[in-house]
């Protein structure tokens, strides 16, 4: 009996926890284009595509470290009409659009790359996204993979090469499903 309980406990310990946002509907995104006048709302998201939504801050060292990998992922995903990669940049403190735009532009220039980037002008989107997260807190960077129905199917909080490998493995499986 104790052996069975021990085996079940070890099996449970080896099971990866399911993120609280998995399976939830992506809240309405009320964000505006950082470099153009375009805004992004659920109606503008292509309902036939899987969306990779990268939430980050140009001031955050972990975001800076992981962003080149995200740009590479975006370049790779452009090959598939079934995927769309978008980023939402967040300021460190109170929103100053000109300052955020300048920080993001400088960062993109230092990389020699860019992603379609939006910002949360009202703070509502970040509050709604935070409510999906454990403890109601949105950390940076966070990457959400959202299926065509609008449900979150994968979450990567923070950045490490290992976490990014998990994201790529997940997306590779989704790509294979679309072939």
| 7 inside domain | no
Is residue 53 a contact partner of residue 146, using CB atoms and an 8 Å limit? yes
Q: Which residue has the higher pLDDT, 90 or 17?
A: 90
Question: Which residues span the domain enclosing 56?
Answer: 20-178
Domain total in the chain: 1
Q: What is the pLDDT at residue 21?
A: 85
Q: Alpha carbon of 126 to those of 28, 71, 77: distances in Å? A: 10, 22, 25
Of residues 27, 72, 70, the one with CA closest to residue 156: 70
List, for residues 65-82, the tens digit of each pLDDT value: 999 999 999 999 988 888
Looking at residue 107, which CATH number applies to its domain? 3.40.30.10
């Amino acid at each position: 009996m104790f052996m069975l309980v021990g085996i079940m406990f070890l099996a449970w310990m080896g099971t990866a926890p399911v993120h609280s946002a998995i399976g939830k509907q992506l809240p309405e995104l009320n964000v505006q284009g950082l470099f153009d006048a375009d805004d992004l709302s659920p109606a503008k998201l292509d309902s036939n595509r899987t969306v990779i939504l990268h939430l980050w801050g140009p001031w955050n060292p972990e975001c800076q470290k992981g962003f080149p990998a995200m740009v590479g992922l975006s370049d790779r995903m452009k090959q598939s009409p079934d995927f769309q990669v978008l980023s939402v940049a967040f300021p460190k403190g109170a929103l100053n659009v000109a300052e955020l735009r300048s920080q993001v532009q400088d960062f993109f220039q230092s990389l020699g790359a860019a992603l379609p980037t939006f910002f949360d002008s009202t703070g509502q989107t970040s509050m709604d996204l935070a409510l999906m997260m454990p403890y109601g807190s949105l950390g940076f960077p966070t990457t959400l993979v959202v299926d065509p129905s609008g449900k979150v199917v994968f979450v990567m909080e923070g950045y490490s090469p290992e976490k990014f490998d998990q994201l790529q493995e997940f997306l590779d499986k989704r790509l294979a499903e679309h072939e």
